[in-house]
Amino acid sequence: MGYINAILILGGINVIASLGVAILTGYTGLFTIGHAGFMALGGYMSAIMVKELNIPFPLALLIGGVFAGLCSFIIGYPAFRSRLRGDYFAIATLGFAESIRLLLNNTKVLGGLKLGGAFGYMNIPTHTDVYAIVLIVIGALYFAHMFVTSQYGKNCIAISQDEVAAEMMGVNLMKTKLTALFISAFYCGIAGGLLGMYFAYLSPSFFTTVPSAGLLAAVVFGGIQSLIGPFITAFILVLVPELLRSFAEWRLIIYGFLFVIVMIFRPQGLLGYVEMNFTFVHVFWNKIFHRNQTGASEG
Amino acid sequence: MNSEMINPNETLTIRNLTVDFGGVRAVNDVTMSVQKGELVGLIGPNGAGKTTVFNLITNAFPPTSGQIMLNGKSILGVSPDQICRLGISRTFQNIRLFPQMTAYENVELGFHSVPHYSIAEAFIRTPRATRIEKDTHKKAFELLEIVNLKEHCDERASSLPYGLQRRLEMARAMAASPQLLLLDEPAAGMNEDECKDLIKLIRLIHETMKYTIIMIEHHMNVVMDLCRGYRIYVLSLGSLLAIGTPSEIQNNPQVIKAYLGERKNA
């Protein structure tokens, strides 16, 4: 049971972070390979809040998320001002995340706080359990859905499709992109906080480019302009390594192979452009209901 | 008349507009004015700098020198999105729709490029936000009906036939409720019948809906028909060649020369 719980919790954390990246990469079209950096920022912040200041855990998570979101402006503002896009923006985020990691790696003590440097920040109270994760994942999915279907989200989609046309139609590129970046960093910050309060310690080595690339992979693999695609893929990306534990060395090779296959046959991702909606529930319901009615009339 | 004075009815004023791309002078000392309610034509041979003028008006890039004013206020250095909000909206020569969005969503975007509710309302979707969404929905459908695309509203923009994409782009531009509509070759690639429909549509937009329009067009019958009673500007190699009513332009020897070249033994 503990093992399954662990998979659910780690999968849930990955899902939350991926939903954030889905908003930025899937919907706004900005590629990132540095969102583990925002997980680190949010994670350390909320861990400090819980451990040093005894702030209740949901509030600490929120503070961590907002902190990560605010930090995203440090990279977002100059990058969007100089109109970095595509690979260039991805590299900027990569550099940002790496500098965060290296800073944490080399900061043993910060103003009386024992961050522990490369050894990690120890003895964080553990609050993350399956119930909290399920609740937060549902909330994260709900709010992400609300955002991408709102006028703000549609402006993001417009930017991803044709930036010039969007700007000429009156979309403020800077504001819209910064909003998307803030939300994605917020989600990752929450995910980082949950991670710290699950493992009871945080180490800079959690936040290398590997998890960053994993988040991007979940979105690209799961599908552009889709929430449910990254949702499923992010969970699978946690689950599959567990299933493939017996051939651990082959894991990354199989990964790479699968990615190439998907990119060749479905460049838009497995569920690309498939909006998460529940119309199929309605259709199904109507079908049953309708059949019952006709059945009744026949009988 | 004092040239510094600005007519209060003047929607767009362009003075001595010049732009250099490296050593090439793409637009050279162009002066134009558009009165409220006019439908002004902008014609000229390929490479004359017509689209460049549009790009300068919408600040896709800055001019080297000159003045551009909307209702008497300079719009130089204003960002493209803000220019759109100030009231200049355009279509593109090489159609720039949002390809994966539906026809309806394309038009809808024109209405909400500046969202009408706060970000917090977006997350919680308050009744006010829902009401605004419904309102936008209604307005977008009205526009789709005007351009005759209602039955295509759920199709992706990229899957629409070429002529309909042009109409959709016009609807999207109108959704921003501009004071000045810039149409960049609305009839490009259309056959005679489609041209006739288009003339009807532009006339509707101009006369019934009272839009002020500048139109770049290569189909002479379309320009001459629509701009009857108004002015046509002729650009050639970046400079203004002639200004006048359609009949004046048609009989202007310089314009004929620019389009057809000179007879060697004339």
For chain B, percent of residues with pLDDT exceeding 70:
96
d(CA B247, CA B228): 8
Amino acid identity, residue A115? Answer: L
**Residues in chain A closer than 8 A to B97 (CB atoms):** 162, 165
Between the alpha carbon of residue A34 and those of residues A37, A196, B98, the distances in Å are 6, 18, 28
Strands B239-244 and B232-236: antiparallel
**Residues in chain A closer than 8 A to B122 (CB atoms):** 146-147, 150-153
Which helix (H) or strand (E) covers residue A140, if one does?
Answer: helix A130-149
A187-227 pLDDT, tens digit each: 999 999 999 999 999 999 999 988 898 899 899 888 888 89
Counted across chains A and B, CB pairs separated by less than 8 A come out at 99
Query: What is the distance in angstroms between the Cα of B115 and the nearest Cα belonging to chain A?
Result: 6
Query: What is the distance in angstroms between the Cα of B38 and the nearest Cα belonging to chain A?
Result: 22
Domain that holds residue A273: 2-298
Could you say which DSSP state residue A114 is in?
E
Amino acid identity, residue B249? Answer: I
Confidence at residue B88, expressed as pLDDT on a 0 to 100 scale = 94
ipTM of this complex: 0.89
For chain B, percent of residues with pLDDT exceeding 90:
61
**Residues in chain A closer than 8 A to B112 (CB atoms):** 151, 154-155
Q: Residue A131 maps to which CATH number? A: 1.10.3470
Q: Which residues of chain A have pLDDT under 70?
A: 274-282, 290-299
For residue B98, what is the nearest residue in chain A, using CA coordinates?
A161
Confidence at residue B265, expressed as pLDDT on a 0 to 100 scale = 63
- Delimit the domains of chain B by residue range: 1-87+178-266, 99-175
Could you write out the DSSP letters of every residue in chain B? --TT---TTEEEEEEEEEEEETTEEEEEEEEEEEETT-EEEEE-STTSSHHHHHHHHTTSS--SEEEEEETTEE-TT--HHHHHHHTEEE--SS----TTSBHHHHHHHHHHSS-SS-HHHHHHT-HHHHHHHHHHHHHHHHHHHHTT-GGGTTSBGGGS-HHHHHHHHHHHHHHT--SEEEEE-TTTT--HHHHHHHHHHHHIIIIIS--EEEEE-S-HHHHHHHTTTS-EEEEETTEEEEEE-HHHHHT-HHHHHHHH---TT-
Check CB contact under 8 Å for A171 and B113.
Answer: yes
Interface of B with A (CB under 8 A): 58, 60, 79-82, 84-85, 89-90, 92, 96-101, 105, 108-110, 112-117, 119, 122-125, 129, 133, 136, 172-173, 176
Check CB contact under 8 Å for A146 and B81.
Answer: no
Interface of A with B (CB under 8 A): 143, 146-147, 150-155, 157-158, 161-162, 164-173, 179, 225, 273
**Residues in chain B closer than 8 A to A171 (CB atoms):** 81, 109, 113-114
Give chain A's domain count. 1
Other beta carbons within 10 Å of A216: 23
For residue A224, what is the nearest residue in chain B, using CA coordinates?
B100
Confidence at residue A265, expressed as pLDDT on a 0 to 100 scale = 84
For residue A153, what is the nearest residue in chain B, using CA coordinates?
B122
**Residues in chain B closer than 8 A to A157 (CB atoms):** 98, 100-101
Phi, psi of B239 (to 5 degrees): -110, 155
**Residues in chain A closer than 8 A to B108 (CB atoms):** 154
Q: Which residues of chain B have pLDDT under 70?
A: 1-6, 263-266
d(CA A87, CA A49): 35
**In whole angstroms, how large is the CA radius of gyration of chain B?**
20
Residue A121, helix vs strand vs coil? strand
Q: Give the tokens for residue B104.
A: 């309806």
d(CA A179, CA A153): 10
Q: Give the tokens for residue A107.
A: 């900061």
Check CB contact under 8 Å for B114 and A167.
Answer: no
Check CB contact under 8 Å for A146 and B116.
Answer: no
For residue A156, what is the nearest residue in chain B, using CA coordinates?
B113
Q: Counting Cβ atoms within 10 Å, is residue B5 exposed (0-12), middle (13-18) or buried (19+)? A: exposed
B80-135 pLDDT, tens digit each: 999 999 999 999 989 999 999 999 999 999 999 889 999 999 998 899 999 999 99
For residue B125, what is the nearest residue in chain A, using CA coordinates?
A146
Supply the CATH classification number for the domain B1-87+178-266. 3.40.50.300
d(CA A263, CA A261): 6
Residue A273, helix vs strand vs coil? coil
